[in-house]
Structure 1
Amino acid sequence: MRIGSTVLLNEKKCIQSYGWEYFRPLGSLQGVIDSLEEYQCDEIAIIRPVRKNDSLDIFKEDLSELQKLKTMTPVSFGGGIRSVEHLQHLTDLPIERLVFSSAFLDGNKDLISQAKDLFGHQAIQCLLPLAYRKEGVFVYHSGLSVYIAIEDIDIEFINTSANEIILVDTQNEGQKNSFDWSLIDGLPFEYKKLIISGGIGKNCINKAYKKQLASVLIDNKVLHTEYSISGFKHATILS
Protein backbone atom coordinates (compact mmCIF):
# COMPACT_ATOMS: atom_id res chain seq x y z
CA MET A 1 0.00 0.00 0.00
CA ARG A 2 1.28 3.44 -0.94
CA ILE A 3 1.42 6.30 1.57
CA GLY A 4 1.29 9.78 0.14
CA SER A 5 0.07 13.27 0.79
CA THR A 6 -2.44 15.76 -0.55
CA VAL A 7 -1.13 19.24 -1.36
CA LEU A 8 -3.66 21.99 -2.03
CA LEU A 9 -2.59 24.64 -4.55
CA ASN A 10 -4.53 27.89 -4.53
CA GLU A 11 -3.50 31.05 -6.40
CA LYS A 12 0.06 29.74 -6.88
CA LYS A 13 0.54 29.04 -3.16
CA CYS A 14 -0.06 25.96 -1.02
CA ILE A 15 -2.67 26.02 1.70
CA GLN A 16 -3.85 23.80 4.54
CA SER A 17 -7.55 23.00 4.63
CA TYR A 18 -9.73 21.94 7.53
CA GLY A 19 -13.22 20.51 7.19
CA TRP A 20 -13.45 21.47 3.52
CA GLU A 21 -14.04 25.06 4.66
CA TYR A 22 -11.18 26.73 6.52
CA PHE A 23 -7.83 27.51 4.88
CA ARG A 24 -4.41 28.50 6.17
CA PRO A 25 -1.31 29.55 4.15
CA LEU A 26 1.33 26.86 3.94
CA GLY A 27 4.05 28.18 1.61
CA SER A 28 5.46 27.72 -1.87
CA LEU A 29 4.77 24.57 -3.88
CA GLN A 30 8.45 23.71 -4.28
CA GLY A 31 9.09 24.18 -0.55
CA VAL A 32 6.22 21.85 0.37
CA ILE A 33 7.29 19.21 -2.16
CA ASP A 34 10.88 19.37 -0.89
CA SER A 35 9.65 18.65 2.64
CA LEU A 36 7.58 15.70 1.48
CA GLU A 37 10.54 14.21 -0.37
CA GLU A 38 12.62 14.43 2.82
CA TYR A 39 9.90 12.38 4.52
CA GLN A 40 10.06 9.72 1.75
CA CYS A 41 6.53 10.30 0.50
CA ASP A 42 5.42 7.63 -2.02
CA GLU A 43 3.19 9.96 -4.04
CA ILE A 44 1.79 13.47 -3.99
CA ALA A 45 -1.64 14.59 -5.16
CA ILE A 46 -1.58 18.28 -6.01
CA ILE A 47 -5.19 19.48 -5.99
CA ARG A 48 -6.58 22.91 -6.79
CA PRO A 49 -9.54 23.35 -4.35
CA VAL A 50 -11.57 25.25 -6.91
CA ARG A 51 -15.21 26.16 -6.85
CA LYS A 52 -17.47 27.26 -9.69
CA ASN A 53 -15.71 30.65 -10.04
CA ASP A 54 -12.57 29.10 -11.55
CA SER A 55 -11.28 30.28 -14.94
CA LEU A 56 -8.79 29.11 -17.56
CA ASP A 57 -6.50 32.07 -16.78
CA ILE A 58 -6.38 31.19 -13.06
CA PHE A 59 -5.82 27.55 -14.04
CA LYS A 60 -2.82 28.49 -16.20
CA GLU A 61 -1.35 30.67 -13.44
CA ASP A 62 -1.34 27.70 -11.07
CA LEU A 63 0.18 25.52 -13.80
CA SER A 64 3.12 27.95 -14.00
CA GLU A 65 4.13 26.70 -10.54
CA LEU A 66 3.91 23.08 -11.70
CA GLN A 67 6.05 23.84 -14.72
CA LYS A 68 8.89 24.99 -12.43
CA LEU A 69 8.52 22.02 -10.08
CA LYS A 70 11.53 19.76 -9.48
CA THR A 71 10.70 16.41 -7.90
CA MET A 72 11.41 12.71 -8.19
CA THR A 73 8.15 11.76 -6.41
CA PRO A 74 5.21 10.63 -8.59
CA VAL A 75 2.70 13.48 -8.83
CA SER A 76 -1.04 13.48 -9.51
CA PHE A 77 -2.76 16.71 -10.47
CA GLY A 78 -6.36 17.80 -10.50
CA GLY A 79 -8.82 20.57 -9.79
CA GLY A 80 -10.58 22.48 -12.53
CA ILE A 81 -9.76 20.16 -15.47
CA ARG A 82 -13.06 20.66 -17.25
CA SER A 83 -12.35 20.88 -20.98
CA VAL A 84 -10.07 19.59 -23.73
CA GLU A 85 -8.36 22.99 -23.68
CA HIS A 86 -7.44 22.39 -20.04
CA LEU A 87 -5.96 19.00 -21.01
CA GLN A 88 -3.79 20.52 -23.69
CA HIS A 89 -1.98 22.60 -21.08
CA LEU A 90 -0.99 19.49 -19.08
CA THR A 91 0.96 17.44 -21.60
CA ASP A 92 4.42 18.84 -20.76
CA LEU A 93 4.08 18.97 -16.97
CA PRO A 94 5.93 16.68 -14.48
CA ILE A 95 2.78 14.73 -13.58
CA GLU A 96 1.93 11.04 -13.89
CA ARG A 97 -1.78 10.99 -13.09
CA LEU A 98 -4.79 13.23 -13.64
CA VAL A 99 -7.48 13.70 -11.00
CA PHE A 100 -11.03 14.45 -12.14
CA SER A 101 -14.06 15.20 -10.01
CA SER A 102 -16.68 17.36 -11.78
CA ALA A 103 -16.07 15.53 -15.07
CA PHE A 104 -17.08 12.24 -13.46
CA LEU A 105 -20.00 13.76 -11.57
CA ASP A 106 -21.28 15.39 -14.77
CA GLY A 107 -20.78 12.23 -16.80
CA ASN A 108 -18.43 14.03 -19.20
CA LYS A 109 -17.40 10.89 -21.08
CA ASP A 110 -15.84 12.81 -23.95
CA LEU A 111 -13.37 14.63 -21.69
CA ILE A 112 -12.40 11.46 -19.80
CA SER A 113 -11.98 9.61 -23.10
CA GLN A 114 -9.70 12.35 -24.44
CA ALA A 115 -7.68 12.25 -21.21
CA LYS A 116 -7.27 8.47 -21.53
CA ASP A 117 -6.10 8.87 -25.12
CA LEU A 118 -3.46 11.43 -24.08
CA PHE A 119 -2.26 9.93 -20.79
CA GLY A 120 -3.52 6.32 -20.70
CA HIS A 121 -6.19 4.66 -18.58
CA GLN A 122 -3.73 4.01 -15.73
CA ALA A 123 -3.35 7.78 -15.28
CA ILE A 124 -7.02 8.53 -14.62
CA GLN A 125 -8.17 9.05 -11.04
CA CYS A 126 -11.61 10.05 -9.79
CA LEU A 127 -11.90 12.31 -6.73
CA LEU A 128 -15.09 12.01 -4.67
CA PRO A 129 -15.31 14.45 -1.72
CA LEU A 130 -17.78 12.72 0.62
CA ALA A 131 -19.90 13.67 3.61
CA TYR A 132 -22.23 11.43 5.60
CA ARG A 133 -25.59 12.85 6.59
CA LYS A 134 -28.71 11.29 8.08
CA GLU A 135 -30.11 10.97 4.54
CA GLY A 136 -27.04 9.02 3.41
CA VAL A 137 -23.72 9.71 1.67
CA PHE A 138 -23.33 12.90 -0.38
CA VAL A 139 -20.64 14.01 -2.84
CA TYR A 140 -19.40 17.58 -3.16
CA HIS A 141 -19.73 18.89 -6.73
CA SER A 142 -17.08 21.62 -7.00
CA GLY A 143 -18.46 22.92 -10.30
CA LEU A 144 -21.81 23.66 -8.64
CA SER A 145 -20.51 24.25 -5.09
CA VAL A 146 -23.15 21.91 -3.64
CA TYR A 147 -23.37 18.39 -2.24
CA ILE A 148 -25.33 15.88 -4.31
CA ALA A 149 -26.62 12.44 -3.32
CA ILE A 150 -24.35 9.49 -4.16
CA GLU A 151 -27.34 7.90 -5.92
CA ASP A 152 -27.33 10.74 -8.46
CA ILE A 153 -23.90 9.94 -9.93
CA ASP A 154 -22.99 7.36 -12.56
CA ILE A 155 -21.16 4.72 -10.53
CA GLU A 156 -20.64 2.44 -13.54
CA PHE A 157 -18.96 5.26 -15.47
CA ILE A 158 -16.54 5.81 -12.58
CA ASN A 159 -15.85 2.09 -12.16
CA THR A 160 -15.03 1.55 -15.82
CA SER A 161 -13.19 4.81 -16.56
CA ALA A 162 -11.16 5.52 -13.40
CA ASN A 163 -8.08 3.47 -12.63
CA GLU A 164 -8.24 4.60 -8.99
CA ILE A 165 -10.82 6.42 -6.86
CA ILE A 166 -9.90 8.96 -4.19
CA LEU A 167 -12.47 9.18 -1.38
CA VAL A 168 -12.11 12.32 0.75
CA ASP A 169 -13.81 12.61 4.14
CA THR A 170 -14.57 16.33 3.89
CA GLN A 171 -15.92 16.64 7.42
CA ASN A 172 -12.76 15.22 9.02
CA GLU A 173 -10.23 16.83 6.69
CA GLY A 174 -7.29 18.16 8.69
CA GLN A 175 -7.94 15.90 11.68
CA LYS A 176 -6.11 12.75 12.82
CA ASN A 177 -7.45 9.18 13.09
CA SER A 178 -10.99 10.35 12.42
CA PHE A 179 -11.69 9.09 8.88
CA ASP A 180 -15.35 7.98 8.73
CA TRP A 181 -15.17 4.39 7.52
CA SER A 182 -18.95 4.30 7.07
CA LEU A 183 -18.39 6.43 3.95
CA ILE A 184 -17.05 3.41 2.07
CA ASP A 185 -19.55 0.89 3.44
CA GLY A 186 -21.83 -0.17 0.64
CA LEU A 187 -20.03 1.80 -2.08
CA PRO A 188 -19.65 -0.47 -5.13
CA PHE A 189 -15.91 0.10 -5.58
CA GLU A 190 -13.17 -2.51 -5.24
CA TYR A 191 -10.94 -1.84 -2.24
CA LYS A 192 -7.84 -2.34 -4.37
CA LYS A 193 -8.85 0.75 -6.40
CA LEU A 194 -9.52 2.98 -3.40
CA ILE A 195 -7.42 5.82 -2.03
CA ILE A 196 -8.64 7.54 1.13
CA SER A 197 -7.92 11.00 2.52
CA GLY A 198 -9.25 13.26 5.26
CA GLY A 199 -8.71 12.53 8.94
CA ILE A 200 -5.90 10.05 8.28
CA GLY A 201 -3.63 8.99 11.16
CA LYS A 202 -1.59 5.91 12.05
CA ASN A 203 -4.62 3.93 13.19
CA CYS A 204 -6.40 4.69 9.91
CA ILE A 205 -3.34 3.64 7.93
CA ASN A 206 -3.15 0.34 9.77
CA LYS A 207 -6.82 -0.35 9.00
CA ALA A 208 -6.41 0.69 5.35
CA TYR A 209 -3.44 -1.68 5.07
CA LYS A 210 -5.51 -4.57 6.41
CA LYS A 211 -8.32 -3.76 3.98
CA GLN A 212 -5.72 -3.75 1.15
CA LEU A 213 -6.59 -0.29 -0.12
CA ALA A 214 -4.43 1.12 -2.92
CA SER A 215 -3.16 4.14 -1.02
CA VAL A 216 -3.76 6.71 1.71
CA LEU A 217 -3.18 10.44 1.32
CA ILE A 218 -2.34 12.31 4.49
CA ASP A 219 -3.39 15.96 4.60
CA ASN A 220 -1.81 18.93 6.33
CA LYS A 221 0.03 17.39 9.31
CA VAL A 222 2.41 15.38 7.12
CA LEU A 223 4.65 18.44 7.03
CA HIS A 224 5.31 18.37 10.76
CA THR A 225 8.15 16.17 12.05
CA GLU A 226 6.00 14.27 14.53
CA TYR A 227 3.80 13.12 11.65
CA SER A 228 6.59 12.10 9.27
CA ILE A 229 5.88 9.65 6.46
CA SER A 230 8.36 7.14 7.85
CA GLY A 231 6.34 7.02 11.06
CA PHE A 232 3.13 6.45 9.13
CA LYS A 233 4.76 3.66 7.12
CA HIS A 234 5.69 1.93 10.35
CA ALA A 235 1.98 1.87 11.22
CA THR A 236 1.32 -0.59 8.39
CA ILE A 237 3.27 -3.30 10.20
CA LEU A 238 1.55 -2.80 13.52
CA SER A 239 -1.25 -5.17 14.42
Structure 2
Amino acid sequence: MRIGSTVLLHEQTCVQSYGWELFRPLGSLQGVMDSLEEYQCDEVAIIRPVRAEDTFESFVRDLSVLKSLKTMTPVSFGGGIRSAEHLQHLTDLPIERLVFSTAFLDGNEDLLNAAKNSFGHQAIQCLLPLKRIDNRVCVYHSGLSRSISLDDIDTAFINSFANEIILVDTENEGSQNTFDWSLLNDIPFDRNKIVISGGIGKICVKQAQENNLASVLIDNKVLHKEYSISGFKHAAVLS
Protein backbone atom coordinates (compact mmCIF):
# COMPACT_ATOMS: atom_id res chain seq x y z
CA MET A 1 0.00 0.00 0.00
CA ARG A 2 1.24 3.46 -0.94
CA ILE A 3 1.41 6.34 1.53
CA GLY A 4 1.19 9.77 -0.01
CA SER A 5 -0.03 13.29 0.62
CA THR A 6 -2.46 15.82 -0.76
CA VAL A 7 -1.22 19.30 -1.63
CA LEU A 8 -3.87 21.95 -2.19
CA LEU A 9 -2.85 24.64 -4.69
CA HIS A 10 -4.95 27.80 -4.40
CA GLU A 11 -4.02 30.97 -6.28
CA GLN A 12 -0.45 29.74 -6.89
CA THR A 13 0.10 29.03 -3.17
CA CYS A 14 -0.21 25.85 -1.12
CA VAL A 15 -2.88 25.86 1.59
CA GLN A 16 -4.12 23.56 4.35
CA SER A 17 -7.86 22.97 4.38
CA TYR A 18 -9.94 22.11 7.42
CA GLY A 19 -13.40 20.61 7.09
CA TRP A 20 -13.59 21.56 3.40
CA GLU A 21 -13.98 25.23 4.39
CA LEU A 22 -11.06 26.96 6.12
CA PHE A 23 -7.83 27.61 4.20
CA ARG A 24 -4.52 28.40 5.86
CA PRO A 25 -1.39 29.26 3.82
CA LEU A 26 1.53 26.82 3.77
CA GLY A 27 3.95 28.42 1.32
CA SER A 28 5.29 27.81 -2.16
CA LEU A 29 4.61 24.61 -4.08
CA GLN A 30 8.32 23.91 -4.56
CA GLY A 31 8.99 24.36 -0.83
CA VAL A 32 6.17 22.02 0.13
CA MET A 33 7.26 19.41 -2.42
CA ASP A 34 10.87 19.59 -1.23
CA SER A 35 9.71 18.80 2.30
CA LEU A 36 7.54 15.89 1.17
CA GLU A 37 10.39 14.49 -0.90
CA GLU A 38 12.66 14.67 2.13
CA TYR A 39 10.05 12.65 4.04
CA GLN A 40 10.11 9.97 1.30
CA CYS A 41 6.50 10.44 0.27
CA ASP A 42 5.36 7.74 -2.18
CA GLU A 43 3.14 10.07 -4.20
CA VAL A 44 1.60 13.53 -4.09
CA ALA A 45 -1.81 14.60 -5.34
CA ILE A 46 -1.74 18.31 -6.20
CA ILE A 47 -5.35 19.47 -6.18
CA ARG A 48 -6.83 22.85 -6.98
CA PRO A 49 -9.66 23.07 -4.39
CA VAL A 50 -12.35 24.30 -6.77
CA ARG A 51 -15.37 24.77 -4.52
CA ALA A 52 -17.37 27.18 -6.69
CA GLU A 53 -17.00 28.82 -10.09
CA ASP A 54 -13.59 28.54 -11.69
CA THR A 55 -12.07 30.40 -14.63
CA PHE A 56 -9.69 29.21 -17.29
CA GLU A 57 -7.40 32.13 -16.50
CA SER A 58 -7.15 31.03 -12.86
CA PHE A 59 -6.41 27.48 -14.01
CA VAL A 60 -3.55 28.65 -16.24
CA ARG A 61 -2.10 30.84 -13.48
CA ASP A 62 -1.98 27.87 -11.11
CA LEU A 63 -0.29 25.76 -13.80
CA SER A 64 2.49 28.36 -14.05
CA VAL A 65 3.94 27.21 -10.71
CA LEU A 66 3.72 23.58 -11.81
CA LYS A 67 5.77 24.16 -14.94
CA SER A 68 8.93 24.94 -13.01
CA LEU A 69 8.39 22.25 -10.36
CA LYS A 70 11.36 19.97 -9.74
CA THR A 71 10.63 16.71 -7.97
CA MET A 72 11.35 12.99 -8.16
CA THR A 73 8.08 12.11 -6.41
CA PRO A 74 5.23 10.83 -8.63
CA VAL A 75 2.65 13.60 -8.96
CA SER A 76 -1.02 13.57 -9.87
CA PHE A 77 -2.92 16.76 -10.63
CA GLY A 78 -6.54 17.78 -10.67
CA GLY A 79 -9.08 20.48 -9.98
CA GLY A 80 -10.91 22.31 -12.74
CA ILE A 81 -9.94 20.10 -15.71
CA ARG A 82 -13.14 20.51 -17.70
CA SER A 83 -12.32 20.71 -21.40
CA ALA A 84 -9.92 19.59 -24.13
CA GLU A 85 -8.33 23.03 -23.90
CA HIS A 86 -7.52 22.38 -20.24
CA LEU A 87 -5.93 19.05 -21.19
CA GLN A 88 -3.70 20.69 -23.79
CA HIS A 89 -2.04 22.75 -21.06
CA LEU A 90 -1.09 19.64 -19.07
CA THR A 91 0.98 17.68 -21.58
CA ASP A 92 4.37 19.23 -20.74
CA LEU A 93 3.97 19.31 -16.95
CA PRO A 94 5.82 17.02 -14.48
CA ILE A 95 2.70 14.98 -13.68
CA GLU A 96 1.93 11.29 -14.11
CA ARG A 97 -1.77 11.11 -13.29
CA LEU A 98 -4.87 13.25 -13.77
CA VAL A 99 -7.58 13.66 -11.14
CA PHE A 100 -11.14 14.38 -12.28
CA SER A 101 -14.27 15.02 -10.26
CA THR A 102 -16.87 17.03 -12.21
CA ALA A 103 -16.14 15.09 -15.41
CA PHE A 104 -17.05 11.83 -13.66
CA LEU A 105 -20.10 13.25 -11.91
CA ASP A 106 -21.39 14.68 -15.21
CA GLY A 107 -20.54 11.56 -17.21
CA ASN A 108 -18.28 13.54 -19.56
CA GLU A 109 -17.14 10.57 -21.61
CA ASP A 110 -15.55 12.68 -24.36
CA LEU A 111 -13.22 14.49 -21.95
CA LEU A 112 -12.25 11.32 -20.08
CA ASN A 113 -11.57 9.48 -23.33
CA ALA A 114 -9.38 12.36 -24.50
CA ALA A 115 -7.47 12.22 -21.22
CA LYS A 116 -7.12 8.45 -21.46
CA ASN A 117 -5.82 8.67 -25.03
CA SER A 118 -3.22 11.25 -24.04
CA PHE A 119 -2.08 9.89 -20.68
CA GLY A 120 -3.28 6.26 -20.59
CA HIS A 121 -6.06 4.60 -18.59
CA GLN A 122 -3.73 3.96 -15.66
CA ALA A 123 -3.35 7.73 -15.24
CA ILE A 124 -7.05 8.51 -14.69
CA GLN A 125 -8.23 9.01 -11.11
CA CYS A 126 -11.66 10.03 -9.85
CA LEU A 127 -11.98 12.26 -6.78
CA LEU A 128 -15.18 12.07 -4.73
CA PRO A 129 -15.49 14.59 -1.86
CA LEU A 130 -17.89 12.86 0.54
CA LYS A 131 -20.02 13.78 3.54
CA ARG A 132 -23.17 12.51 5.20
CA ILE A 133 -26.28 14.68 4.97
CA ASP A 134 -29.42 13.38 6.68
CA ASN A 135 -27.84 9.92 6.88
CA ARG A 136 -27.21 9.86 3.12
CA VAL A 137 -23.78 9.79 1.51
CA CYS A 138 -23.41 12.88 -0.66
CA VAL A 139 -20.70 14.06 -3.05
CA TYR A 140 -19.68 17.67 -3.51
CA HIS A 141 -20.18 18.73 -7.14
CA SER A 142 -17.93 21.73 -7.75
CA GLY A 143 -19.63 22.52 -11.05
CA LEU A 144 -22.92 22.98 -9.20
CA SER A 145 -21.32 24.36 -6.00
CA ARG A 146 -23.36 21.95 -3.87
CA SER A 147 -23.55 18.38 -2.69
CA ILE A 148 -25.57 15.74 -4.53
CA SER A 149 -26.69 12.32 -3.38
CA LEU A 150 -24.54 9.31 -4.20
CA ASP A 151 -27.74 7.70 -5.49
CA ASP A 152 -27.78 10.26 -8.33
CA ILE A 153 -24.29 9.29 -9.52
CA ASP A 154 -23.48 6.69 -12.17
CA THR A 155 -21.00 4.64 -10.14
CA ALA A 156 -20.70 2.04 -12.91
CA PHE A 157 -19.46 4.79 -15.23
CA ILE A 158 -16.88 5.86 -12.65
CA ASN A 159 -15.75 2.28 -12.12
CA SER A 160 -15.23 1.71 -15.85
CA PHE A 161 -13.21 4.88 -16.53
CA ALA A 162 -11.25 5.41 -13.31
CA ASN A 163 -8.10 3.47 -12.58
CA GLU A 164 -8.43 4.56 -8.94
CA ILE A 165 -11.05 6.42 -6.90
CA ILE A 166 -10.00 8.96 -4.25
CA LEU A 167 -12.53 9.20 -1.43
CA VAL A 168 -12.20 12.42 0.60
CA ASP A 169 -13.90 12.59 3.98
CA THR A 170 -14.57 16.33 3.81
CA GLU A 171 -15.97 16.61 7.34
CA ASN A 172 -12.77 15.24 8.86
CA GLU A 173 -10.30 16.93 6.52
CA GLY A 174 -7.40 18.44 8.45
CA SER A 175 -7.72 16.18 11.50
CA GLN A 176 -6.21 12.77 12.23
CA ASN A 177 -7.54 9.26 12.91
CA THR A 178 -11.09 10.44 12.27
CA PHE A 179 -11.78 9.08 8.77
CA ASP A 180 -15.39 7.84 8.55
CA TRP A 181 -14.89 4.18 7.67
CA SER A 182 -18.62 3.65 7.28
CA LEU A 183 -18.32 5.52 3.97
CA LEU A 184 -16.65 2.47 2.45
CA ASN A 185 -19.77 0.40 3.12
CA ASP A 186 -21.82 2.67 0.84
CA ILE A 187 -19.31 2.94 -2.00
CA PRO A 188 -19.64 0.16 -4.66
CA PHE A 189 -15.99 0.06 -5.74
CA ASP A 190 -13.32 -2.60 -5.36
CA ARG A 191 -11.24 -1.92 -2.27
CA ASN A 192 -7.98 -2.25 -4.21
CA LYS A 193 -9.02 0.72 -6.38
CA ILE A 194 -9.76 3.01 -3.44
CA VAL A 195 -7.54 5.81 -2.14
CA ILE A 196 -8.68 7.58 1.04
CA SER A 197 -7.99 11.07 2.33
CA GLY A 198 -9.34 13.32 5.09
CA GLY A 199 -8.78 12.59 8.75
CA ILE A 200 -5.95 10.15 8.10
CA GLY A 201 -3.66 9.25 11.01
CA LYS A 202 -1.38 6.35 11.83
CA ILE A 203 -4.27 4.23 13.10
CA CYS A 204 -6.05 4.86 9.80
CA VAL A 205 -3.00 3.65 7.88
CA LYS A 206 -3.23 0.30 9.66
CA GLN A 207 -6.95 0.07 8.94
CA ALA A 208 -6.35 0.92 5.28
CA GLN A 209 -3.88 -1.95 5.03
CA GLU A 210 -6.35 -4.31 6.64
CA ASN A 211 -8.96 -3.22 4.08
CA ASN A 212 -6.52 -3.78 1.18
CA LEU A 213 -6.86 -0.20 -0.05
CA ALA A 214 -4.59 1.12 -2.81
CA SER A 215 -3.27 4.16 -0.96
CA VAL A 216 -3.79 6.78 1.73
CA LEU A 217 -3.25 10.48 1.15
CA ILE A 218 -2.38 12.41 4.29
CA ASP A 219 -3.20 16.09 4.70
CA ASN A 220 -0.49 18.73 4.43
CA LYS A 221 0.12 18.39 8.16
CA VAL A 222 2.82 15.90 7.14
CA LEU A 223 5.00 18.97 6.78
CA HIS A 224 5.26 18.96 10.57
CA LYS A 225 7.85 16.53 11.87
CA GLU A 226 5.49 14.70 14.19
CA TYR A 227 3.31 13.77 11.20
CA SER A 228 6.13 12.86 8.82
CA ILE A 229 5.60 10.23 6.15
CA SER A 230 8.38 8.08 7.63
CA GLY A 231 6.39 7.86 10.85
CA PHE A 232 3.31 6.71 8.96
CA LYS A 233 5.35 4.09 7.06
CA HIS A 234 6.77 2.84 10.35
CA ALA A 235 3.24 2.48 11.70
CA ALA A 236 2.24 0.52 8.58
CA VAL A 237 5.17 -1.90 9.00
CA LEU A 238 4.18 -2.55 12.61
CA SER A 239 0.58 -3.32 11.73
Provide the C-alpha distance between the structure 2 equivalents of 1:134 and 1:152, rounded to a whole number of angstroms: 15
1:216 and 2:216 aligned: yes
Deviation at 1:190, TM superposition (A): 0.3
Computed over aligned residues only, the root mean square deviation of the Cα atoms, in angstroms, reads 0.7
Q: Which runs of 4+ in 1 moved over 3 A?
A: none
Letter in 2 for 1:170: T
Work out the CA distance in 1 between the residues paired with 2:85 and 2:226. 42
Letter in structure 2 aligned against 1:17 = S
Alpha-carbon distance in 1 for matches of 2:186, 2:54: 33
Q: The residue matched to 1:59 in structure 2 has which SS? A: helix
Residue equivalent to 2:130: 130
Q: Which amino acid aligns with 2:3?
A: I
Corresponding letter in the other structure for 2:78: G
**2: CA distance between counterparts of 1:156 and 1:12?**
35
Alignment-derived partner of residue 163 in structure 2: 163
What TM-score does the superposition give when structure 2 sets the normalisation length? Answer: 0.99
State the AA in 2 paired with 1:197: S
User: What is the CA-CA distance between 1:220 and the residue it aligns to?
Assistant: 2.2
Match of 1:236 in 2: 236
Per the TM alignment, residue 221 of structure 1 is displaced from its structure 2 partner at its CA by 1.2
The one-letter amino acid of 2:20's match is W
Residue number in structure 2 paired with 1:71: 71
Measured after TM superposition, the shift of residue 184 of structure 1 is 1.1
Give the partner amino acid of 1:180.
D
Counterpart in 2 of 1:100? 100
**How many residues are matched?**
239
Distance 1:28 1:205 in 2: 27
Shift of 1:187: 1.4
Q: Aligned with 1:77: secondary structure?
A: strand
Q: Find the counterpart in structure 1 of residue 46 from structure 2.
A: 46
d(CA) in 2 for partners of 1:150, 1:186: 9
Q: CA deviation at 1:212?
A: 1.0
- 3-state SS of the aligned residue for 1:178? coil
* 5+ long unaligned stretches in structure 2: none
**TM value normalised by structure 1:** 0.99
Give how far 1:134 is off.
2.7
What is the distance in 1 between the residues matched to 2:52 and 2:25?
21
The alpha carbon displacement at 1:53 in A equals 2.0
Secondary structure in 2 aligned to 1:7? Answer: strand
Conservation of the 8 A alpha-carbon contact between 1:167 and 1:195: yes
Could you report, residue by residue, the CA deviation over 1:16-57 in whole angstroms, capped at 9, with x for unpaired residues?
000000000110000000000000000000000013321111
Deviation string, structure 1 residues 56-80 (Cα, Å, up to 9, x no partner): 1110000000001000000000000
Give the letter aligned to residue 190 of structure 1.
D
> Mapping of 1:1-239 within 5 angstroms?
1-239=1-239
Q: In 1, distance between residues paired with 2:58 and 2:186?
A: 38
**Partner letter of residue 123 of structure 2?**
A
3-state SS of paired residue (2:177): coil
For 1:185, the aligned partner's letter is N
Q: Identity over the aligned pairs, expressed in percent?
A: 72
**Aligned equivalents of 1:143 and 1:223: distance in 2?**
31
- Secondary structure, aligned partner of 1:185: helix
**In structure 1, C-alpha distance between the alignment counterparts of 2:186 and 2:23, rounded to whole Å:** 31
SS across alignment from 1:206: helix
SS of corresponding position for 1:176: coil
